[in-house]
Amino acid sequence: MRFTGLTFVASVSFLVACGGGEPKPAANGPAAAQPTTATSTASYKAPTGKIWEVKMSGAGDSFKFEPASLTIKAGDGIKFIAVTGFPHNVGMLADSVPADVRAQMSANMPTQESEMTGPMLTEAGASYMISFTDIKPGKYTVHCTPHLMYNMKAEIIVQ
Ligand SMILES: [Cu+2]
């Protein structure tokens, strides 16, 4: 009886933790199966510099970030504010973020709906802040998922 029960539990753990991959010691459990070890090492770093504002608006088939290009300094923050034409969101274009920046960028984008994508802003005045503290200088692109087909994008140049 007892032996049968343990065997059953061990089999289930194996299926859940490994999903067909190579066998691993059951002692480490599902926590050890997380593939995102690089991402989990960074923690949120609040802005220490200027807070910029970018408006998100739209009507008809024209949706935009204003300004659509912004030059900031590492340590600044950008507050994206829905004005009209919502719902909007702010997603960091993954291709614009070098591999060695992703962990910190992701950590600096709280409340994500998917990787480096903020929550939906559904009313006027709703906002989403991204901190650029400890973000390497470079050119980053954000887009709005609901209005991708209208090319709703902005370029953030971090100096
Ligand atoms: Cu939008």
The arrangement of strands across the sheet holding 77-82 comes to 62-66, 51-59, 77-82, 127-131
Q: Calculate how far, in angstroms, residue 96's C-alpha sits from the geometric centre of ligand 1.
A: 19
14 C-alpha to ligand 1 centroid (Å): 43
Question: Cα of 113 to ligand 1 centre, how many Å?
Answer: 15
Instruction: Give the integer Cα–Cα distance in Å for 96 and 74.
Output: 16
Residue 131 Cα to ligand 1 middle (Å): 20
For residue 101, report the distance from its CA to the centre of ligand 1, in Å: 25
pTM over 0.85: no
Q: pLDDT-based confidence at 37, cuts 50/70/90?
A: very low
Q: What is the pLDDT of residue 90?
A: 98
Q: Report every protein residue that has its C-beta within 5 angstroms of ion ligand 1.
A: 63, 88, 144, 147, 152
Distance in Å, CA 7 to ligand 1 centroid: 52
Give strand pairing partners of 142: 92, 154
Q: Is the pLDDT of residue 52 over 50?
A: yes
C-alpha of residue 27 to centroid of ligand 1, in Å: 46
Query: Cα(107) to centroid of ligand 1, in Å?
Result: 23
Pair of tokens at residue 138: 């470079």
Work out the percent of the chain whose per-residue pLDDT is above 90: 74
User: Do 83 and 124 meet the contact criterion of CB atoms below 8 Å apart?
Assistant: yes
* DSSP character at residue 113: S
Structure tokens at 96: 């614009």
Average pLDDT rounded to a whole number, residues 117-131: 98
Mean pLDDT computed over 64-74? 98
CA of 62 to the centre of ligand 1 (A): 9
- List, edge to edge, every strand of the sheet that includes 138-143: 69-72, 153-158, 138-143, 91-92
What tokens appear for 2 in the block?
């007892």
Mean pLDDT of 9-29: 41
